[in-house]
Structure 1
């Protein structure tokens, strides 16, 4: 009431309908924010204002696959992305890392019973290079073990069943971007001793 008196003056008198108002049930608004079968939530990590129409226009053309994609802004820098099929949704997830105007775009699946605004988006998918590994120890198992220090390993870049010989190993990793990035780590090799591996 104090807020209304500040807006309309101290002698404010409300009509019966104004006092009564209306009650909005949770299920009346919850469905809009719930994920459908093929839904992602996207957050642009930036402190700058995001022009909704520019973001939607750019990513509708980038993320359109077999069918159209629907992108709606649901909060500041937060968008609900709905696909009509699983293939299009997985294509967008497989092609991560996405950026918008030099800012990282984080993606996460939204399940049908989850409110998209409640998802904590801190994970991004990156290809990480591992430098300084002795040549004869450059295997997928070594890449997997070292990569797990950084985050959840999705895949190791290798050709068929061959080892990963080359100048460095490449690992696709899901990383918590709210944490400081690792520069490297000491890795103990049984016959080679402990070495610093650059990430």
Structure 2
């Protein structure tokens, strides 16, 4: 019984295959009564693709819209400003006035600064004095309403919405080292294994009793580092 069934299936398959080969195909013509039909979902998909292609061909600029506008390469600015772009890691609606008042009290900039909302939870802080903007960066990390803020320099050469924020500075404490390893050089080496180490003005800032501390720029798109395995003399692991 199984052999007969198998032979019938094979013969039926060959018969169907032969019918497909014998379809009367001509240039640009197909016998729709005998040709296999695509599922309705596929047909709708192809119809949508055709509509998209047709609409795409209609997109063009008019002669007036196609005229080129030439801009100066180096615009002359009367005043030199120093801008920090800040992205607030929150979904809440931001109030520009409230943010300005909050950070004027925290940053205590003598010459003040302006705040501009550029959308996508991103603000621009415009300083008149570069040292005051640098001081804000050196004192990272900053938070607003218990949410982290990512800061970076912004030179204004690209649209603000194209800015990408990925790093923030944290003070990293390094514990568990022998006393004779609590040195500036050791702090720099271990800090580099986590991120980009910030420049320190005083070497004494590194040693904090029985641990080391260093400021490191960390990629916030990656999980936080919980520790590192350190090989001391003669490959001894601590």
Q: TM-score range by the shorter chain?
A: 0.7 to 0.9
Distance 1:185 1:26, change over 3 A: farther
Taking the TM superposition and a 5 Å limit, the aligned residue runs for 1:119-134 are 119-134=163-178
Distance 1:166 1:191, change over 3 A: farther
2:94 maps to 1:50: yes
Q: Which has the greater radius of gyration?
A: 2
Distance 1:165 1:126, change over 3 A: closer
| 1:184 match: secondary structure | coil
Match of 1:115 among 149, 152, 159: 159
Match of 1:168 among 211, 221, 233: 211
**Quick one: distance in 2 between partners of 1:64 and 1:70?**
13
- What corresponds to 2:229 in structure 1? 186
**Quick one: distance in 2 between partners of 1:138 and 1:55?**
40
- What corresponds to 2:182 in structure 1? 138
Contact 1:42 1:80 in 2 (8 A): yes
Residue segments in structure 2 that go unaligned for 5+ positions in a row: 1-63
Distance 1:174 1:165, change over 3 A: closer
- What corresponds to 1:41 in structure 2? 85
Residue segments in structure 1 that go unaligned for 5+ positions in a row: 1-19
Tell me how large the CA RMSD over aligned residues is. Answer: 3.0
- What corresponds to 2:38 in structure 1? none
2:106 maps to 1:106: no
Contact 1:135 1:166 in 2 (8 A): no
Deviation of 1:51 after TM superposition, in Å, equals 2.9
Deviations 1:138-179 (A, max 9, x none): 11111111111110011467428xx83721100111111111
Match of 1:77 among 105, 115, 121: 121
Q: Give the 4+ runs in structure 1 shifted more than 4 A.
A: none
Contact 1:38 1:86 in 2 (8 A): yes
Q: How many residues align?
A: 168
**Higher strand content, 1 or 2:** 1
**Quick one: distance in 2 between partners of 1:165 and 1:70?**
37
**Higher helix content, 1 or 2:** 2
Deviation of 1:115 after TM superposition, in Å, equals 2.8
**What TM-score comes out, normalization by structure 1 length?**
0.73
